[in-house]
Structure 1
Amino acid sequence: MPGPWMTGNMTSRLGSPTRSLLNPAVSVSLLSCFLPTTRIMTQARTKVLLTGATGYIGGTILDRFLKRPDVDAFEWTVIVRDPKKAEIFRTFHVNVVEGSHADAQLMEKLASEADAVIAAADCDDLVAAKATLAGLKKKFEATGVAPIFINTSGTGVIAEVASKGLVASDLVYDDSDAAQMATIPETNIHRNVDLAITDADAEGYIKSYIILPSTIYGVADTRFTRARIQNPHSIQIPGLIRASLDRGRAGMVGEGKNFWPNVHIHELGDLYSLLWDGIAGDPTLGHGRAGYFFGASGEHSLYQVGKAIGEAMVALGKTDNAEPTTFTKEELDKYMQGSTYMGSNSRCRATHSHSLGWKPTKSTNDMLASIPPEVETLSK
């Protein structure tokens, strides 16, 4: 488990820009913005705004942070639409604002009051991202300290959509290679939001860090899923399972030769916590255009996923052949809005993430083993 942000001689671990903040003339609120563990001396807490708390990723992030030994160093604010869920969230000692991250005025206001924002809602909502940035800019202008913005993107941003399941690409992105990451086409999915955030970092009024989860799997087991206020399931693989069950045969785009990375939901939650530690403990940690972190621990082909679904369907008596077949054009229209996106290639190395001490242990075999229980659940 990651420990507190700092121990021992605090000033010996700081870069010169941070040491300058220790001038007594600097207010406690500014100091606590940059150094959350100054609560040891001042009892100030870092104010963190989290979006997507009822979602698969966001709820898992919050649950992971609430397990940290320095849990009292944080003051959390979450945005929840459902009043009933909001009431339950309050029992977990977090501040709850009833509303939506799609409300630009609300997002700007809440971001302007936060020391850090962790966005885990809609990674394609440019309006919400710009509102968040506007609020964080106000925070910077009021304090002179750049607040932290941890955004959740996705490895879809590096997807080669022309593959259509027919080929395995040899293009592999490395999150520690800022020059290579800068070559990602501006027209790719998620990219417009990512660029707005890194541009803001370049302007100097935020420090941005972007985590890019891959194909996430596993049922989230958190205090929030147990309270039935968080979605416990992923989207990608369950969507493919539903389509396969409906057509009576496991399906794939093209020949399923394309590759995607994968990660277990709880190991992804660990990455957010370790990134938080890295931001405080390593003043040289890359941010902005050098601040990408892939959430990926294994790699699979779409054929492998289709075959695992097919085998589970055979075991349940839902089909007599485990071999996946190609979705027809009509089926793509029915199940995937006509898109061949699931046949794209998205390949990466999480070198930057590993440099934080992130050591995921689950593999593609674990991902494939998670499919039969999902098929059984969704077949009922």
Structure 2
Amino acid sequence: MVKIFLTGASGYIGGDVLRGLAGKHPEYEISALNRDPAKASQILEQFPSVKIVSGDLDDVSLLESEVAEADIVLLYWVQVSGASALATPEIASETFGEPSDKTYNDLDGVEEIKALIQEYPSRAVDNYMLKVAASSPQVRTAVVFPPIIYGVGGGPCHQRSVQVPELARFTIERGKGAQVGRGLNRWANVHIHDLSDLFALLVEKAVQGGDEGKVWNSNGIYFCGSGGEMTFGEISEEVAKSAYEQGLVKTAAIDQLKPGEADAIFLHASVMLGTNARCEGTRAKEVLGWKPQQGGLRAEIPKIVSQEADALKAKK
């Protein structure tokens, strides 16, 4: 019996990862950390075979006990980073909305990626995982760096992503679209179900064993852009166009916002909407056989706009 310990089951990513694993591998024994009784009930309602571990990430002794009992550990706040790591130099220099011709490759460019992370101590968790990978080779580690995530999550509690839904929300609320600066910055993107498939493949590889050097530790860095990038100017245009066509705003025009103006609309908007994160899931495709199946972000945007409009109406 394969034992898995999972955190983040009530969240957008963790909930969908749980959906993917429980559906594909009912034989796995999955324990999920959760501190909220109401959310625990939601998790059990959808996944009655899951064992709820009552506690939080500050309970070190509990975590040590659960990790010791598990064959595989999926720690959301440790093993899921974010492609904004690639934008750390832009964040440091406060350069937003500008283009970049730099695309990162997680198969052939691992050393370059690690050097970038190590250059910035502010990436504390990423740097910690690099140290663990180097100092404890007996522990097989992997860190996943998602770009823009889109699509409705299949977990029990939170099904909403952040970047594009927030852009859609504030476009509707302010009555006009917006971008950070010139909006020439590009991000890769991935559907939430394709991202969960990648996690399932990592778990399956851990169960099967083999190909250690290619999959884990010093090489265990995974980007997951599923192919095709968009500038945030293009995304903003599509959001404003969809909102206009659905009668939610009176114009499809776009405003250029300064970073501070964007951050005043929602937290860290200048980073989430104004930086570059150009990458593709090359390693996952090559060493795990990852094959994204879902449609692209552009086709999903009208649905995102409609969902945000419904959510805003429900709050009134």
Q: Does 1:169 align with 2:100?
A: yes
- Distance in 1 (CA, whole Å) between partners of 2:105 and 2:209 is 23
User: Displacement, 1:180?
Assistant: 1.9
SS of residue in 1 equivalent to 2:252:
coil
Aligned to 1:117: 73
- Distance in 1 (CA, whole Å) between partners of 2:122 and 2:81 is 6
Unaligned runs of 5+ in 2: none
Aligned to 1:254: 181
User: Displacement, 1:376?
Assistant: 2.8
2:56 partner amino acid: S
Contact 1:186/1:192 (8 A) holds in 2: no
- Distance in 2 (CA, whole Å) between partners of 1:337 and 1:232 is 20
Change over 3 Å in CA distance of 1:88–1:372 after alignment to 2: closer
SS of residue in 1 equivalent to 2:23:
coil
- Distance in 1 (CA, whole Å) between partners of 2:119 and 2:80 is 18
More helix by share: 2
2:19 partner amino acid: D
Aligned to 2:81: 153
Contact 1:199/1:288 (8 A) holds in 2: no
* Match runs of 1:186-225 below 5 Å: 186=118, 188=120, 191-204=123-136, 205-220=138-153, 222=154, 224-225=155-156
- Distance in 2 (CA, whole Å) between partners of 1:370 and 1:317 is 14
SS of residue in 2 equivalent to 1:171:
coil
User: Displacement, 1:188?
Assistant: 4.9
Q: Does 1:289 align with 2:218?
A: yes
Deviations 1:293-349 (A, max 9, x none): 112113111111111221122124333221221124663342234762121111012
Aligned to 1:8: none
Change over 3 Å in CA distance of 1:212–1:328 after alignment to 2: closer
SS of residue in 1 equivalent to 2:248:
coil
Q: Structure 1 vs Structure 2: percent identity of aligned residues?
A: 29
- Distance in 2 (CA, whole Å) between partners of 1:106 and 1:290 is 30
- Distance in 1 (CA, whole Å) between partners of 2:191 and 2:236 is 19
Unaligned runs of 5+ in 1: 1-44, 124-128, 130-150
Change over 3 Å in CA distance of 1:257–1:88 after alignment to 2: closer
Deviations 1:338-364 (A, max 9, x none): 762121111012110111111113324
Q: Does 1:277 align with 2:166?
A: no
- Distance in 2 (CA, whole Å) between partners of 1:339 and 1:301 is 15
Q: Does 1:178 align with 2:110?
A: yes
Aligned to 2:283: 352
User: Displacement, 1:289?
Assistant: 2.2
- Distance in 2 (CA, whole Å) between partners of 1:196 and 1:190 is 11
- Distance in 2 (CA, whole Å) between partners of 1:239 and 1:190 is 25
Deviations 1:232-255 (A, max 9, x none): 110111222222223221111001
Change over 3 Å in CA distance of 1:292–1:201 after alignment to 2: same
Aligned to 2:30: 76
- How many corresponding residue pairs? 300
User: Displacement, 1:372?
Assistant: 3.1
Change over 3 Å in CA distance of 1:302–1:271 after alignment to 2: same
Q: Which has the higher contact order (CA 8 A, sep 6+)?
A: 2
Change over 3 Å in CA distance of 1:164–1:374 after alignment to 2: farther
Contact 1:164/1:254 (8 A) holds in 2: no
Q: Does 1:373 align with 2:306?
A: yes
User: Displacement, 1:115?
Assistant: 1.7
Out of 210, 229, 235, the residue aligned to residue 299 of structure 1 is 229
Instruction: Flag the structure with larger Rg.
Output: 1
SS of residue in 1 equivalent to 2:118:
coil
SS of residue in 1 equivalent to 2:100:
coil
Contact 1:156/1:190 (8 A) holds in 2: no
Contact 2:82/2:146 (8 A) holds in 1: yes
- Distance in 2 (CA, whole Å) between partners of 1:46 and 1:157 is 32
Aligned to 1:41: none
